[in-house]
Amino acid sequence: MLRENFTDLLRIIGKRPGLHLAPDKDGYCDSIRELYSFILGFEMAQVVDDDTSVLNAFTFWVCHHYGVPDGSRNWHGHILERAGGDDAAAFRLFFELFEEYLKDREAVGPEAIQARFIAMLEELNRKRKDWPLRLAREDDVPAIDALIPISVRALQAPYYSPAQMEAALGPVFAVDRQLIRDGTYFVAEHEGQIVGCGGWSRRQSLYGGDAGRSEPNPELDPARDAARVRAFFVHPSWARRGIGRSIMNACEEAIHEAGFRRVDIVATLAGEPLYAAFGYEVVERYDIVISDSVRLPAVRMTKSF
Interacting residue ranges for ligand COA, rule: CB under 6 A: 151-152, 155-156, 196, 232-234, 239-245, 267-268, 270-271, 273-274, 277
From the list 171, 163, 262, 164, the residue with the least C-alpha distance to 221 is 262
CB of 120 to ligand COA, least distance (A): 17
CB closer to ligand COA out of 83 and 124: 124
H helices present in the chain, as ranges: 2-14, 32-45, 54-65, 75-82, 87-108, 110-128, 141-155, 162-168, 177-182, 243-257, 272-277
CB closer to ligand COA out of 58 and 275: 275
CB of 241 to ligand COA, least distance (A): 5
Query: What is the rounded CA–CA span in Å between residue 88 and residue 80?
Result: 9
C-alpha distances (whole Å) from 4 to each of 1, 45, 92 are 5, 16, 22
C-alpha distances (whole Å) from 89 to each of 62, 73, 146, 284 are 16, 19, 32, 54
Q: Are 64 and 76 in contact (CB under 8 A)?
A: no
CB of 216 to ligand COA, least distance (A): 23
CB closer to ligand COA out of 90 and 229: 229
CB of 162 to ligand COA, least distance (A): 14
CA 23: distance to chain centroid?
24
CB closer to ligand COA out of 202 and 241: 241
SS3 at position 185? strand
| Other beta carbons within 10 Å of 21 | 17
CB of 29 to ligand COA, least distance (A): 29
CB closer to ligand COA out of 97 and 155: 155
Query: What is the rounded CA–CA span in Å between residue 205 and residue 216?
Result: 9
CB of 92 to ligand COA, least distance (A): 35
CB of 286 to ligand COA, least distance (A): 14
Query: What is the rounded CA–CA span in Å between residue 99 and residue 47?
Result: 24
CB closer to ligand COA out of 34 and 264: 264
CB closer to ligand COA out of 79 and 133: 133
